[in-house]
C-alpha cells in the first residue's frame, strides 16, 4: 500500500519553509538573543537576500505575454553563488542600516529597521524593471531539478539542501557565537556600559553581530527563493514575517541556538497545521481557523512570558573549566 505522495509533498513543504524560518530565527537570535539588538526589519533583509539570489540565478526571462515588465536577471549563476551574493547584499545592507543607529539608544535601531524593511518592500513593488513588480520573479531554477514530473523528488531534494544548510549554519554559529567573541556579545547585551569599561569596543561587536545576522537572513532569503521557485513582494515579505520570527525566538529561547530552531518549527508548524486542518474542521470553524491560530499563539505567548520568560530552551550556563 503506497503512502499518498501528496501528503509527503505537503509535509516536505512544511519542512522546507520551517527550515527557512529556522535560519531567519538563527539570524535574529544572533542579533537579539546574543547581542541585544532588536531588529524590527527582519523581512527586509530576508527580501534583499531572496531577490538578490533570484536575480543572480534565473535564466534570461522569456517575453512575458501581455507586455509585462519582466525583471532584471538572466545571469544564470549557480545557486551557491546566488546564495553568497544574497548574504553579501543583506549583510552589507544590515551594516549600512546599523552604522548610524547603533551608537544611539536601542529604540532607534528598531525604528530604523522597521522603516528600512517597509521601504525595501515598497521599492520592490515599484521598481518593476528590476524586480518584476507585483508579479515578482517566476521560474527561479531549483539547485537540482528532476523535472515537472517528479514533484516528490524535487521537494525531497530541496528539504535535503535546506536541512544541510541549516546544519552547517548551526555548527558555524556554535563555533562563532560560543567563543570568546560571542562572550563579548553576551556581555554587551547584559550591560553595554560595563562591557565598554572592561576594554571592549562594543560598537564594533554590535556592528559585526548585526551584519552577520543580516547575512544569515539573506541566506534564508536565497533558500526561500529556490524553495518556492517564485517570488512576490506583497505577502512574503510583509511585517508579519518579522513578527513571526520574533515569536519563534521568544518561544524557543533567546540566546539558545537550538531554541531558535525549535521555535521556528513549532510556530510555523502551527500555521501549517491550521491550513491542513481547514478541510477537516466543522463548518462553523472553517473560516475562522486562522484567527483561532493567532489566538492560540497569543495565549501561548502570554503564558510563556508569565511562566517561562526565558523560552522553552533557556540559555545555557557556560561552565568554564
C-beta of 192: minimal distance to another protein in Å?
Answer: 10
The Cα–Cα gap between 126 and 43 comes to 17
Radius of gyration of the chain (CA): 20
Asked whether the CA dihedral 131, 246, 170, 206 is positive or negative, the reply is: positive
Q: Residue 137's beta-bridge partner residues?
A: 231
C-beta of 27: minimal distance to another protein in Å?
Answer: 16
For another protein, which is the closer residue by CB, 152 or 175?
175
Q: Where are the beta strands (DSSP E) in 22-75?
A: none
For another protein, which is the closer residue by CB, 154 or 195?
195
How is residue 158 written as a grid cell?
530541496
Whether residue 257 contacts residue 170, with contact meaning beta carbons closer than 8 Å, is answered with yes
C-beta of 203: minimal distance to another protein in Å?
Answer: 9
C-beta of 69: minimal distance to another protein in Å?
Answer: 41
Q: How far apart are the first and last CA of the chain?
A: 56
For another protein, which is the closer residue by CB, 26 or 43?
26
How many CA atoms lie within 13 Å of 25's alpha carbon, on the beta-carbon side? 33
For another protein, which is the closer residue by CB, 181 or 291?
181
How is residue 71 written as a grid cell?
525583471
C-beta of 195: minimal distance to another protein in Å?
Answer: 7
Q: Residues interacting with another protein, by CB under 8 A?
A: 175-176, 179-181, 183-184, 186-187, 189-191, 193-202, 208, 255, 315, 317-321
For another protein, which is the closer residue by CB, 23 or 177?
177
Amino acid at each position: 500500500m503506497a503512502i499518498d505522495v501528496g501528503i509527503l509533498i505537503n509535509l516536505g513543504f512544511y519542512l522546507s519553509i520551517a527550515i527557512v524560518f529556522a535560519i531567519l530565527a538563527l539570524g535574529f537570535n544572533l542579533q537579539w538573543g546574543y547581542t541585544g539588538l532588536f531588529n524590527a526589519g527582519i523581512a527586509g533583509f530576508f527580501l534583499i537576500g531572496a531577490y538578490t539570489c533570484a536575480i543572480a540565478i534565473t535564466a534570461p526571462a522569456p517575453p512575458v505575454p501581455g507586455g509585462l515588465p519582466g525583471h532584471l536577471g538572466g545571469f544564470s549563476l549557480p545557486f551557491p553563488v546566488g546564495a553568497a551574493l544574497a548574504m553579501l547584499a543583506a549583510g552589507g545592507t544590515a551594516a549600512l542600516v546599523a552604522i548610524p543607529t547603533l551608537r544611539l539608544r536601542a529604540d532607534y535601531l528598531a525604528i530604523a529597521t522597521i522603516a528600512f524593511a517597509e521601504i525595501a518592500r515598497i521599492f520592490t513593488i515599484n521598481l518593476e524593471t528590476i524586480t518584476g513588480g507585483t508579479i515578482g520573479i517566476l521560474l527561479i531554477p531549483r539547485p537540482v531539478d528532476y523535472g515537472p514530473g517528479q514533484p516528490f523528488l524535487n521537494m525531497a531534494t530541496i528539504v535535503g539542501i535546506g536541512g544541510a544548510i541549516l546544519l552547517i549554519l548551526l555548527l558555524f554559529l556554535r563555533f562563532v557565537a560560543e567563543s570568546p567573541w560571542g562572550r563579548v556579545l553576551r556581555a554587551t547585551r547584559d550591560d553595554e556600559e560595563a562591557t565598554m569599561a572592561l576594554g571592549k569596543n562594543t560598537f564594533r561587536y554590535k556592528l559585526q553581530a548585526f551584519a552577520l545576522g543580516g547575512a544569515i537572513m539573506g541566506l534564508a532569503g536565497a533558500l526561500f527563493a529556490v524553495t518556492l521557485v517564485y517570488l512576490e513582494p506583497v505577502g512574503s515579505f510583509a511585517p508579519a514575517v518579522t513578527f513571526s520570527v520574533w515569536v519563534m525566538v521568544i518561544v524557543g529561547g533567546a540566546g539558545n541556538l537550538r531554541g531558535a530552531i525549535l521555535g521556528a518549527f513549532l510556530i510555523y508548524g502551527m500555521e501549517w497545521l491550521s491550513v491542513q486542518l481547514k478541510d477537516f474542521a466543522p463548518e462553523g470553524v472553517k473560516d475562522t481557523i486562522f484567527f483561532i491560530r493567532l489566538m492560540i499563539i497569543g495565549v501561548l505567548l502570554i503564558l510563556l512570558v508569565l511562566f517561562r520568560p526565558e523560552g522553552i530552551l533557556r540559555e545555557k550556563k557556560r561552565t568554564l573549566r
